[in-house]
Structure 1
């Protein structure tokens, strides 16, 4: 585990304290993406790689007080920042690896993953683990508040077809791990792939 996750911890730990202030205007984009999950009051949802918990208020708003909102992240500093922001009162924060979730099979109605896919150590196995914990017909949302081209430009990279989030690659990855890609949006101001858990 340590080798797989050293780069994740090295990247996120020093950025945790200032993470929310770097992206102060993302709230509406998160809320819009969460709205596409089709959640109902009382549902159970996981924010996988929740970071500082920016999606948790939007998730709580749709599942209501009887619903269950879980936030899982590998980086202790991110979870501490989520707690300082009051998000531990919105959902249950758990330090765990998305590759080995401490959840029963089929126990979730949906998984939300913001910026998750590019940080998975083993994307095929990790998305299969997400499929394990979601009931058949449940939904996976892979979200980023900006699209692939804008993100590549922000990091000074050229967009290529072998990007894991390119539609053909993502469709194949998800199909191999128990999901069916249902919709795919890649625009300057939003990336959102929605997949349904196959029976």
Structure 2
């Protein structure tokens, strides 16, 4: 179920220092997901809920030195870990939440969100705000380095019908916020849903 901002911030603040050590093998999955986004040199990309910044290096490599990469997260402790890991060299890091993005309308070509959808307090409204900063025909990638079933098993729980990441829930949710789902993959080794911003 969606969480409120304070709970999300508290949850990730308590885990920030150990986050990268806890999930040391996710790098290739992030790089592979970024490779599927069709980014071009010079593009502008927002990593929404960037955490410790594991996607920032492959995003920078994809858009090149002339592109723009913004890593945005609600939790200062996560951004501090991104800086400690040297990932601030690949992006401008911003502490903000997805309900009020400090970005111009239609200023972004692609939004990348790793593990984001489950933590949005108001999913439809937050997805609309992500759409506001995305140009028409721009893309949104909702990613996780493991699929829904593998994640549920890791957390000792069962998949439920109210999971926003399930395709029957996600497709209409995205549509209500002005996005059209283009592709959907939910496999043990990754979760990747790509949507396009409707004009």
On whether the aligned pair clears a TM of 0.5, the verdict is yes
| 2:42 is the counterpart of 1:36 | no
1:97 corresponding residue in structure 2: 97
Q: Secondary structure at the match of 1:6?
A: helix
State the 1:4 CA deviation: 2.8
Give the whole-Å Cα distance in 1 for the aligned partners of 2:28 and 2:164. 25
Q: Secondary structure at the match of 1:151?
A: helix
Question: Within 5 A, what are the aligned runs for 1:6-17?
Answer: 6-17=6-17
Give the whole-Å Cα distance in 2 for the aligned partners of 1:197 and 1:37. 14
RMSD across aligned C-alpha pairs, in angstroms?
0.9
Normalising to structure 1: TM-score of the pair? 0.97
| 2:79 is the counterpart of 1:72 | no
Give structure 2 stretches of 5+ with no counterpart. none
1:113 corresponding residue in structure 2: 113
| 2:149 is the counterpart of 1:174 | no
1:190 corresponding residue in structure 2: 190
Give the whole-Å Cα distance in 2 for the aligned partners of 1:7 and 1:156. 21
State the 1:154 CA deviation: 1.1
**Residue-by-residue CA offset, 1:65-105 (whole Å, 9 max, x unaligned):** 00000000000000000011111111000000111100111
**Residue-by-residue CA offset, 1:161-199 (whole Å, 9 max, x unaligned):** 221101010000000001000000000010000000000
**Residue-by-residue CA offset, 1:42-61 (whole Å, 9 max, x unaligned):** 00000000000000001001
Give the whole-Å Cα distance in 2 for the aligned partners of 1:135 and 1:10. 32
**Residue-by-residue CA offset, 1:20-49 (whole Å, 9 max, x unaligned):** 111111111001101111110000000000
Say how many residue pairs are matched: 197
Q: Secondary structure at the match of 1:52?
A: coil
Q: Secondary structure at the match of 2:110?
A: strand
2:143 corresponding residue in structure 1: 143
**Residue-by-residue CA offset, 1:105-135 (whole Å, 9 max, x unaligned):** 1000000000000000000000010000000
Normalising to structure 2: TM-score of the pair? 0.97
Give structure 1 stretches of 5+ with no counterpart. none
2:157 corresponding residue in structure 1: 157
Q: Secondary structure at the match of 2:16?
A: coil
State the 1:6 CA deviation: 1.3
